């Protein structure tokens, strides 16, 4: 294009330059929040962030004005574990089904429903979790506001993520491998277990981490099913079974009308942000070759 540029009218050259620079400018505007949020969280949270902040329970009045966020870190781990325990088997199972029966009308319906579940708002998941697990009246499991109720609700959210990524990862296993297994006389089950699943393991692992990322940041469903605990509970169900959670902790601290609590909230946000960004970056580095998976959910 360089040769023809000299013969272009000034107006067209000008427009060409302006529009090109605008795309760069708007890209900068789009990613500015990422850098700005990390900077603001670091800048206002760093004064309270030290080792004891990560390893002590919150104390003082209002609760959290002294001490740290150990309850939130432990609680988030418990919730993520419970969510994965439900969603990994179910999601991988459903993903295998979609891979196996990819083109049948029923599979199309299941794929549509799974995709729609991906878009269900988190407050609706909260309502569902409340009436399935937490409610104390009517039908439901009557577990109260508890870690199990919260964790399984988050598991619901994770299921469609794991399903989609599992199917995609299985599809990326070369067809010739599958055909080779069949040609050797393997049954479908043997083919899936021995050839397809091992080949897709990296992709499925990525999918699980993506689900975990999503679940770590979820707050709204926990308002309906687990709420918050300033300590670490002995049980996972019942009225004493709620756990703390980093996201809920930020929410509660930010609601306190005091500057000191906002600083604590930003420090907790920095911790959550670091966990999320490190997992995220890890996934992307691990799957740099096949970027498709990581960018798809």
Partner 1 sequence: MSVVETGKQEKLLQRKEALERRVTGKETMVQSDRIFGWGLKAGGLLIMALFLVVLLVCIVTAWPSIRKFGFSFLWSQAWNPSRGIFGGLTYIIGTFWVTGIALVISIPVAIFSALFLSDYAPKWMSGIVSTLMEMLAGIPSIVFGAFGITFMVPILRDHLEPFLANTLGTRWDFFNGDALGYGVLAAGIVVGFMIVPLVATVTRDSLLMVPQEMVEASYALGATKAETLFFVKLKAVIPGIVGSVILGFGRAVGETMAVLLLIGNQASIPETIQDVGYTISSLLANTFTYAVIDPLYAAAEVELGLILLMMTLVVNTLGRKLLMRLMGGRLAGSVGGG
Judged by CB under 8 A, the chain residues 77 through 106 that form the site for partner 1 are: 90, 93-98, 100-101, 106
> Judged by CB under 8 A, which of 53, 143, 156, 228 binds partner 1?
156
Nearest-angstrom CA–CA distance, 99 and 92? 10
78 near 151, Cβ under 8 Å? yes
Nearest-angstrom CA–CA distance, 161 and 93? 12
Task: Based on the shown chain and the rule CB under 8 A, indicate whether residue 281 belongs to the binding site for partner 1.
Answer: yes
Task: Based on the shown chain and the rule CB under 8 A, indicate whether residue 46 belongs to the binding site for partner 1.
Answer: no
How far apart are CB 234 and partner 1 at their closest, in Å? 24
68 near 262, Cβ under 8 Å? no
Task: Based on the shown chain and the rule CB under 8 A, indicate whether residue 53 belongs to the binding site for partner 1.
Answer: no
Judged by CB under 8 A, the chain residues 106 through 125 that form the site for partner 1 are: 106-107, 109-110, 112-125
Task: Based on the shown chain and the rule CB under 8 A, indicate whether residue 278 belongs to the binding site for partner 1.
Answer: no
Nearer to partner 1, 185 or 234 (CB): 185
Task: Based on the shown chain and the rule CB under 8 A, indicate whether residue 135 belongs to the binding site for partner 1.
Answer: yes
Task: Based on the shown chain and the rule CB under 8 A, indicate whether residue 76 belongs to the binding site for partner 1.
Answer: no
> Judged by CB under 8 A, which of 74, 146, 147, 164 binds partner 1?
164
Place of tokens 């009246």: 137
> Of 271, 151, 276, 270, whose CA–CA distance to 221 is shortest?
151
Nearest-angstrom CA–CA distance, 242 and 148? 8
How far apart are CB 112 and partner 1 at their closest, in Å? 7
> Of 191, 211, 198, 200, whose CA–CA distance to 168 is shortest?
200
Which tokens is 290 given?
A: 């096949």
Count of residues near partner 1 by CB under 8 A: 105
Task: Based on the shown chain and the rule CB under 8 A, indicate whether residue 47 belongs to the binding site for partner 1.
Answer: no
How far from chain centre, in Å, is Cα 284? 14
How far apart are CB 82 and partner 1 at their closest, in Å? 16
Helix (H) or strand (E) holding 117: helix 105-118
Nearer to partner 1, 202 or 220 (CB): 220
Task: Based on the shown chain and the rule CB under 8 A, indicate whether residue 284 belongs to the binding site for partner 1.
Answer: yes
Residue 59 three-state SS = strand
Task: Based on the shown chain and the rule CB under 8 A, indicate whether residue 131 belongs to the binding site for partner 1.
Answer: yes
How far apart are CB 41 and partner 1 at their closest, in Å? 7
> Judged by CB under 8 A, which of 88, 147, 269, 293 binds partner 1?
269
Which long-range contacts link 171-178 to residues 24+ away (Cβ below 8 Å)?
171/99, 171/102, 172/199, 172/200, 172/203, 172/290, 172/292, 172/293, 173/199, 173/200, 174/199
Task: Based on the shown chain and the rule CB under 8 A, indicate whether residue 266 belongs to the binding site for partner 1.
Answer: yes
Judged by CB under 8 A, the chain residues 185 through 244 that form the site for partner 1 are: 187-189, 192, 213-214, 216-221, 223-224, 227
């Amino acid at each position: 294009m360089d040769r023809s540029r000299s013969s272009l009218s000034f107006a067209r050259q000008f427009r060409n330059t302006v529009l090109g620079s605008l795309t760069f400018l708007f890209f900068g505007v789009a990613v500015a929040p990422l850098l700005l949020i990390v900077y603001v969280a670091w800048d206002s949270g760093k004064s309270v962030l030290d080792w004891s902040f990560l390893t002590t329970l919150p104390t003082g009045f209002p609760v959290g004005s002294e001490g740290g966020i150990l309850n939130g870190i432990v609680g988030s781990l418990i919730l993520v574990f419970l969510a994965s325990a439900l969603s990994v088997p179910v999601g991988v199972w459903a993903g295998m089904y979609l891979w196996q029966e990819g083109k049948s009308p029923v599979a199309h319906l299941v794929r549509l429903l799974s995709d729609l579940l991906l878009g269900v708002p988190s407050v609706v998941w909260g309502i569902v979790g409340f009436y399935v697990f937490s409610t104390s009246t009517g039908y439901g499991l009557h577990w109260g506001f508890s870690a199990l109720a919260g964790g399984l609700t988050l598991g619901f959210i994770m299921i469609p993520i794991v399903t989609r990524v599992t199917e995609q990862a299985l599809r990326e296993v070369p067809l010739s491998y599958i055909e080779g297994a069949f040609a050797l006389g393997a049954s479908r089950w043997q083919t899936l277990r021995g050839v397809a699943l091992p080949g897709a393991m990296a992709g499925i692992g990525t999918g699980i981490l993506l689900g975990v990322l999503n679940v770590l940041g979820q707050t709204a469903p926990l308002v309906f099913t687990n709420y918050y605990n300033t300590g670490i509970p002995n049980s996972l169900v019942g009225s004493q079974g709620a756990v703390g959670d980093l996201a809920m902790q930020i929410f509660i601290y930010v609601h306190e009308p005091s500057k000191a609590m906002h600083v604590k909230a930003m420090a907790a946000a920095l911790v959550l942000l670091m966990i999320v960004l490190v997992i995220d970056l890890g996934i992307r580095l691990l799957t740099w070759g096949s970027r498709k998976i990581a960018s798809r959910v």
